Amino acid sequence: MAVGTKPGAGVDTAQVARDTREHVLISWAAQGQIAPLVVTGGDGCWIVSGERRILDFSSTLVNTNLGHQHPKVVRAIAEQAERLTYAAPGFTDEPRATLARMIADVAPGDLTKTMFTTGGSEAIESAIKIARLFTGRHKVLTQWRSFHGQTAGAMTAGGDNRRWANEPGIPGIVHFLNPDPYRSLFGADVQKALAHVEEVIWYEGPNEVAAILCEPIVGASGLIVPPDGFFQGIRQLCDRHGIVMILDEVMTGFGRTGKWFAAEHWNVVPDVMTFAKGVNSGYVPLGGAIVDGPIAKHFEDHVLWQGLTYSGHALACAAGVATIQAYRDERVVENAAAMGELLGRELRALMARHPSVGDVRGKGLMWGIELVKDRGTKEMLERWNGPSQKLATALRTACMERDVYVMTRWNLMVVAPPLIITADELRTGIGAIDEALAIADRYAATGEL
C-alpha cells in the first residue's frame, strides 16, 4: 500500500455488497436475511469498513490473535510469495520445516511432530485418524458442549446444533457431559465428573476407545472452564486404559488464555494436540495436529494414511513463522495474561450493574458472559441450542452500533480481543458491552427485547 493511502481506499463497497448478494453463499445464514459488513482493511485491534473503524472484541472468529495486518507477518507472506509459493506435501521446504520446529519448541511436553492441515476441522480429522491408526481402536469420546469444526468427523465430535442439519455424521463418536462448574449436574465436583467419564468408558469398552477428545476450555459452545483437576484426571484415565488424549487447542492455543497453550494451566500434556487459528493469526488458512514421541515413533514404520494437497502450504507456514516470532519479540503472550487480569476484573464488575449476568468466566483473553433470567434459578435467558437467536442478534447489533464487534450466541457473549490489545481499547469494548447489557436486563425483567 502506498504511504498515506487509507486501507480500503478505492474499494467500491456498494459493488462488493452487490456481488456478494448475487454470487457468494454465506455460512450459517439464510441468505436473504443478512447484509454482511464489507471489510476493506484492518489495523491492529480494529476492523476497517470504508470510513468506519470497528473494535474487534472477539478477534473475528477468535483467530486474529496478533490483530489485523501485522506488518511483519504481511511482509513475510509477500517475501515468501516472491521465493516459493507452494511445494508438494511429499517434498519439503523451509517455512514448513521451520514452523514445525518452532511449534515443537513452544508446545508442551514432548509434542514434536506436526501433520499440517488447512484449518481446525481438518486438524481434528487428522487427530482422530492418528489415534485410530495408533491404537487400532475406533471409538472417540467427546464432550456434549463442544465445537470441533464442520467436516463430517469434526462436526460429529461437536455437541451443539450446528451438527443437526447434516446428521448422521461419522460412526464411533460417543459424547459425555461437560464438567461445567456453573451448571452441570456435577457442579464443581471434579471427582463426580471424572467418574461419569469412566462410566462411559466402561460401557463403551475400554479396549474399543481410541481417544478422548476435548477442548481444554470450551470456546464457541459455551466458554466453559473446567474445574482444576479435570484434565489431570482425564490424563490418568487415558494412561490407565491405553487411550490417546487429544486436546483441541484450535481456539485456546498460541497465547489466547495467557499461556502458550491452555493445557499448561493444569500441567497436562496430551498425546496429540490440534491447533489452527492463532498459529498464524488467521492470515493464511493453516492448522495441524502435533503428536508426541511414542506416536511419532509408531509412524516411523507404519504408513500415515492421510494427506492433503495443501498440507503445510508455504505461504501459510511463512505467516506462522513470522507470527510466532512476533509473539516472542513483542511479548504478546505476556500481554494476554496481563490484559486478561484487567478484562476479567472489569467483566465481573458488570455483574453488580446487570442482574441478567449470571456468570462471567474465562482465562487470559478468552471470556464468556452468560445471561440468565434469574440468578437464583440460573434459567437461561435464551435456551442454548434453542430456536431463538433474537437476544444474541440484539446484543451483537447494539455493540456494532457502538462500533464494537462481539461474538454472541444464544445467552452467551464471547469476549476474546486480539492479544495485542491495550487497556484503553479494553475499556472501550467493555463500555459498549455495559450499555448493550441494558437490553438483556430488560428482556429478563419483561420478556421484551
To the nearest whole angstrom, how small is the minimum distance from the Cβ of residue 219 to ligand PLP? 5
Three cell numbers written together for 209 = 476407545
- Given the complex with ligand PLP, which of 160 and 215 has the nearer CB atom? 215
Length of the chain (residues): 449
CA-angle at 222, arms to 208 and 355, nearest 5°: 150
- Given the complex with ligand PLP, which of 280 and 356 has the nearer CB atom? 280
- Given the complex with ligand PLP, which of 184 and 280 has the nearer CB atom? 280
To the nearest whole angstrom, how small is the minimum distance from the Cβ of residue 70 to ligand PLP? 19
- Given the complex with ligand PLP, which of 27 and 33 has the nearer CB atom? 27
- Measured in whole angstroms, how far is the alpha carbon of residue 70 from the centre of its chain? 20
β-pair partners for 52 = 49
- Given the complex with ligand PLP, which of 148 and 363 has the nearer CB atom? 148
Other CB atoms within 10 A of residue 310 CB: 19
CA-angle at 315, arms to 310 and 317, nearest 5°: 80
To the nearest whole angstrom, how small is the minimum distance from the Cβ of residue 315 to ligand PLP? 16
- Which residues of this protein are in contact with ligand PLP, per CB under 6 A? 61, 119-121, 124, 147-149, 215, 219-220, 248, 250-251, 276, 287
- Measured in whole angstroms, how far is the alpha carbon of residue 61 from the centre of its chain? 7
To the nearest whole angstrom, how small is the minimum distance from the Cβ of residue 249 to ligand PLP? 8
Three cell numbers written together for 138 = 475406533
**What is the spatial distance between Cα 437 and Cα 149, in angstroms, rounded to a whole number?**
29
To the nearest whole angstrom, how small is the minimum distance from the Cβ of residue 250 to ligand PLP? 3
To the nearest whole angstrom, how small is the minimum distance from the Cβ of residue 121 to ligand PLP? 3
- Given the complex with ligand PLP, which of 120 and 429 has the nearer CB atom? 120
Three cell numbers written together for 357 = 449476568
CA dihedral 202, 205, 210, 213 (to 10 degrees): -30
| 3-class DSSP state of 407 | strand
Instruction: Return phi, psi of residue 373, to 5°.
Output: -75, -35
Other CB atoms within 10 A of residue 10 CB: 7
To the nearest whole angstrom, how small is the minimum distance from the Cβ of residue 124 to ligand PLP? 6
To the nearest whole angstrom, how small is the minimum distance from the Cβ of residue 225 to ligand PLP? 14
- Given the complex with ligand PLP, which of 246 and 439 has the nearer CB atom? 246
| 3-class DSSP state of 430 | helix
To the nearest whole angstrom, how small is the minimum distance from the Cβ of residue 310 to ligand PLP? 13
> What is each CA distance from 216 to 141, 147, 280, in whole angstroms?
14, 12, 20
Tell me the three-class secondary structure of 375-398, residue by residue.
Answer: CCCCEECCCCCCCCCHHHHHHHHH
Write out the DSSP string of 70-129: -HHHHHHHHHHHHH-S---TTS--HHHHHHHHHHHHHSSTTEEEEEEESSHHHHHHHHHH
- Given the complex with ligand PLP, which of 146 and 411 has the nearer CB atom? 146
Other CB atoms within 10 A of residue 50 CB: 16
Three cell numbers written together for 284 = 493464511
To the nearest whole angstrom, how small is the minimum distance from the Cβ of residue 243 to ligand PLP? 20
- Given the complex with ligand PLP, which of 102 and 286 has the nearer CB atom? 286
- Given the complex with ligand PLP, which of 49 and 58 has the nearer CB atom? 58
DSSP for residue 256: T
